[in-house]
Amino acid sequence: MNNDILDVIYNEGERLIPFITHNEDEVIRHFSSYDFFAKIIKMDVENNNVEEADVLDVGFGCGYGCLILSKIPGIKQVTGIDVSYACKSYAQENYGARNIDFVVVDAGEYLAQKHPFGYITSRGVLEHIPNGLSLTKNSNYTQRLIIDVPYNEKPGNDHHIIVGIKEDAFQDYENYELFYEGLDGTIYDAANKPSDANMILCVASREGLPPVREMFDFPIQPVTIEYVKTEMLACSQDSILQFQNRYFSYKNPTDLLLAAEKAIQQVDVVLDVGPGIAPMNYFRPKFHILLEPFDEYVQILNHRFANDGSIFVISGTAQELMSSFAANSVDTVFLLDVIEHLHKEDGVNILSHAERVARKQIIVFTPLGFMPQTVHEGEKDGWGLGGASVQEHLSGWTPEDFGSGWDLHICETFHKFDFRNQLLNKEYGAFFAIKNFFGKPTPEPQSIPNIRKLLPSEIELEKVRVELMNTQAALVNTQHQLVNIQDELVNTQHQLQKISEHPVVRVLRKIRKVFKSPGF
């Protein structure tokens, strides 16, 4: 992963990337917190207080905390949430496991929805979220809520919305206990609060679970760097998940566009859905089908490519016509800046048809999430034409909307201006969803009847072909006869040679010489 993306994850020191950013002391503090979280959950499971459970980790960062929690026996699923696709990409590549799901979502919005989990954990995150403590206090956990935040932090960190958090911030939590983490990573109970308390930890437990302070002997010593490397971050080969989708993050639009260009195959037959007046121009295919619904755009395309036999313009909507294309009938389907102009159900249906129609690739480009774009009556579109009515955004898409087998190339800061070239109220991301097909099978027909009538020229050509075949056969036969005659001649020569060497012939040859001699 390149340094620009690591910078995005690092976020000016707010996220720890183990053994890449921060010093070893910070690594020990982070991992000692997660080690304490894991000890609590593991003890619950071992003492039969809890059977199988799932965990929500709020703010997974690089994903190492989710990996630690996922290895606890009895944990069937760990869901990590964070706001960054760069984090998701890094987490899946480095700390993914079969029972971990990394989800990109706003933590405040997600917690407000009160999804149920057995355990909810968070390490050094809630201070970044408005009402973060209140949201966790009211979250839907069935076993324990285990969180820590900076203790009595002074103002000065622009990333921290909540500062000065002390004991009274947790007084409304249900059945809560407080613990502290020192600067060296040691975990203390409330009765032995250290003078160098760096983090305050709150464990809120549902009724029936034993107090955490009675489950362990405090203080709990910090983990060692060796233990972090050999145990906490160790992955068994069968636990590693080969993710069905691959995520790639880019810091700026230029890097995203260059990466997409490299990923796009140059093929012969392209179906370009909703190109407007600007068909895709990554390469020039042998046959380029343009499926465009807006009549004014269709007229311009027809005029522009009137003398180009490689381009075929079809007037109609993808909703109406995609089902008419046969399976595996084109190499690549392009949907560039298209699906956000459709209702979600229509977009999903078109993607399904694209998977059926494409032989080699599907290329989708769309804003990251819903990017509002409305038009006013009589307003011109971005090309100065009358197509503003089809430029309104009707749906928002994220990489999670795509099924399995897609490569997701994501830039979280892409769109700064709207189609009027006016500055948006905030910057929106964008992403390419690319699906590759390898050896996609084409169904074989049961029979292929010859129903085409031959042309007269083809009939004459067939006669000539038959005559030529007959002549070639006769020539081969003559050649065989010639070979036989040559063989007979050689045999005759051999016989004559034998006769000439016979004793009788020799005697006759001598008598003949005598009769021919002078004086006889």
What's the pLDDT tens digit per position in 94-124?
A: 888 889 999 999 998 999 999 999 999 999 9
Nearest to 5 by CA among 245, 261, 247: 247
How does residue 408 score in pLDDT terms, banded at 50, 70 and 90?
very high
Mean pLDDT of the chain: 89
Cis peptide before 130 (omega within 30 of 0): no
Query: What pLDDT shows up at residue 439?
Result: 75
**Residue 514, in any domain of the structure:** no
Q: Identify whether the C-beta of residue 440 lies closer than 8 Å to the C-beta of residue 417.
A: no
Q: Which band of pLDDT confidence, cut at 50, 70 and 90, is reported for residue 198?
A: very high
CA dist 107 and 130 (Å) reads 10
**Sorting pLDDT into bands at 50, 70 and 90, what band is 235?**
low
Give the CATH number, domain containing residue 401. 3.40.50.150
Whether pLDDT at 54 is above 80:
yes
Q: Which residues pair with 54 in a beta bridge?
A: 77
| Domain co-membership, 367 together with 469 | no
- Between 157-161, 187-191, 226-230, 243-247, the lowest mean confidence (pLDDT) is in 243-247
Closest to 276 measured CA to CA, from 259, 288, 293: 293
Report pLDDT for 450. Answer: 67
Residues 334 and 204 in one domain: no
d(CA 464, CA 479): 22
Higher pLDDT, 86 or 266: 266
Reported as a single tens digit per residue, the pLDDT across 468-509 is: 999 999 999 999 899 889 988 988 888 888 888 888 877 777
Residue 451 inside a domain? The answer is: no
Q: Residues 68, 100: contact at Cβ < 8 Å? A: no
Residue 443: inside a domain: no
Clarify whether residues 171 and 61 are in a common domain: yes
Is the model's pLDDT at 376 over the cut of 90? no
Give me 141's structure tokens: 């956990």
pLDDT at 457: 87
Does 68 map to a domain? yes
Residue 123, both tokens = 């390490």
- Domain total for the chain? 3
CB burial string 228-248: b at 16+ within 10 A, e below: beeebbeeeeeeeeeeebebb
In this structure, the answer to whether residues 416 and 469 fall within a common structural domain is: no
Q: Give yes or no for residue 241 having a pLDDT over 80.
A: no
Which of 382, 402, 436 corresponds to the end of one domain? 436
Q: Are strands 53-58 and 117-123 parallel, antiparallel or unpaired?
A: parallel
In a domain, 456, yes or no: no
Query: Are 175 and 305 in a shared domain?
Result: no
326: confidence class by pLDDT, cuts 50, 70, 90:
very high
Q: Label residue 455 by pLDDT band (50, 70, 90).
A: confident
Task: Note the pLDDT of residue 238.
Answer: 46
pLDDT at 239: 47
Sign of CA dihedral 362, 365, 370, 374: negative
pLDDT at 93 over 90: no
What are the residues whose beta carbons fall under 8 Å from the beta carbon of 145, sequence distance 6 or more? 119, 120, 136, 137, 139, 173, 202, 203, 204, 205
pLDDT higher than 70, residue 520: no
Question: Treating both helix axes as pointing N-terminal to C-terminal, what angle do 85-95 and 3-10 enclose, rounded to 10 degrees?
Answer: 110
Note the pLDDT of residue 78: 96
What phi and psi values does residue 409 have, to the nearest 5 degrees?
-105, 115
Runs of H (alpha helix) within 151-294: 225-227, 253-263
- The per-residue pLDDT for 350 is 96
pLDDT at 237: 47
Q: Are residues 208 and 253 in the same domain?
A: no
How far, CA to CA in Å, does 77 sit from each of 52, 209, 327, 375?
9, 21, 38, 44
Distances (CA, A) of 200 to 35, 75, 265: 15, 25, 53
Q: Is 377 part of a structural domain of the chain?
A: yes
β-bridge partners, 158:
none
Find out whether 359 and 331 touch, Cβ atoms under 8 Å: yes
Across 144-172, average pLDDT: 93
Q: Are residues 133 and 170 in the same domain?
A: yes
Highest mean predicted confidence (pLDDT) among 360-369, 449-458, 478-487: 360-369
Same domain, 390 and 468: no
Length of the chain: 520
* CB-neighbour burial class of residue 158 (10 A; exposed 0-12, middle 13-18, buried 19+): exposed
120-129, 174-183, 448-457, range with the lowest pLDDT: 448-457
Q: Which of 235, 255, 285 is the C-terminal boundary of a domain?
A: 235
Q: Which residues pair with 187 in a beta bridge?
A: 181, 220
d(CA 259, CA 430): 13
State the average pLDDT over residues 395-407: 90
Residue 511 lies inside a defined structural domain of this protein: no
Q: Is the pLDDT assigned to residue 248 strictly greater than 60? A: yes
Residue 23 has pLDDT above 50, yes or no: yes
pLDDT number for residue 69: 96
Mean pLDDT, residues 288-297 = 95
What does the alpha-carbon distance between residue 168 and residue 1 come to, in Å, rounded to a whole number? Answer: 42
pLDDT confidence of 451, banded at 50, 70, 90?
low
pLDDT, average across residues 216-240 = 81
Indicate whether 431 and 471 sit together in one domain.
no
Rounded to 5 degrees, what angle do the CA atoms 277, 281, 286 make?
Answer: 105
Residue 300 lies in a domain: yes
Of 402, 420, 436, the position where a domain reaches its end is 436
Instruction: Supply 404's token pair.
Output: 């399995």
Q: What percent of the chain has pLDDT over 90?
A: 62
Radius of gyration of the chain (CA): 40
**Is there a single domain that holds both residue 380 and residue 273?**
yes
In the predicted model, is pLDDT for residue 242 greater than 60?
A: no
The percent of residues above 70 in pLDDT, for the chain, comes to 93
Q: 336, 363 in Cβ contact below 8 A? A: yes
Structural domain including 67 reads 3-235
Give the pLDDT of residue 181.
97
Q: Is 401 left (phi over 0), alpha (psi -120 to 50) or beta?
A: alpha
Closest alpha carbon to 411 in 391, 434, 427, 394 = 427
Residues 252 and 227 in one domain: no
Q: Is residue 141 located within the same domain as residue 256?
A: no
